[in-house]
Amino acid sequence: MARALESSRQIRARRLGRFVTQQWFKFAQRLSQALLIPIAILPAAGVMLGLTVSPIPFMPEELTVLMLAVGKLIFAIMPMLFAVAVAIGFCRDQGIAAFTAVFGYGVMTATLAALADLYRLPTQPLLGMDTLDTGIAGGMLLGGITCFAVRWSQYIRLPAIFSFLRGVAAHLC
């Protein structure tokens, strides 16, 4: 009896181990596909900034200034790009996920700016305001939170007072 119980425990442990391994592999595969696009943009931005630091003699100054501005912009919005990429990579409704990630990144940035001002924390200029810079890790975390929010929003029913566009959308379809 004890052997049979031990044997069934071992079988369940092996099955659980296989399940966790398979799920982890699926998660890692989806994450790597989601991060592919923002990571692919990084070399182009780096080349743009590199060409502006050591200008080429035949390159006009206007092009140098333009490439510097575009390169700085890409690096400034890189956390938001990662937030959108993670949200799109893990959500079924990709359009809502992307919009929510951009909106959420703006809310997070403004909230951190207010908290930094309130508690007098050191800040950096980011998207037109002095805020705490969470970097790419903050963007990826926000993308994950966005995916959970979009997934949970399918099951939430708001009171009728908050669904004022519902009647308009029904007539447009």
pLDDT in tens, 103-142: 999 999 999 999 999 999 999 998 889 999 999 999 999 9
The answer to the question of residue 131 being in a domain is yes
Instruction: Report the alpha-carbon distance of residue 158 to residue 160 in Å, rounded.
Output: 6
Q: Answer whether 35's CB lies under 8 Å from 85's CB.
A: yes
Percent of the chain with pLDDT over 70: 90
Of the three residues 76, 102, 126, the one that is the final residue of a domain is: 76
The answer to the question of residue 108 being in a domain is yes
Of the three residues 76, 109, 124, the one that is the final residue of a domain is: 76
Residue 166, pLDDT above cutoff 80: no
User: What domain count does the chain have?
Assistant: 2
**Highest mean pLDDT out of 40-44, 159-163, 168-172:** 40-44
Q: How far is CA 75 from the centre of its chain?
A: 14
The answer to the question of residue 172 being in a domain is no
Neighbours of 111 (CB within 10 A): 12
pLDDT tens readout for residues 30-75: 888 989 999 999 999 999 999 898 778 888 999 999 999 999 999 9
pLDDT of residue 69: 94
Is the pTM above the cut of 0.85? no
The answer to the question of residue 163 being in a domain is no
Instruction: Report the alpha-carbon distance of residue 87 to residue 151 in Å, rounded.
Output: 11
Q: Residue 36 is part of which domain span?
A: 1-76
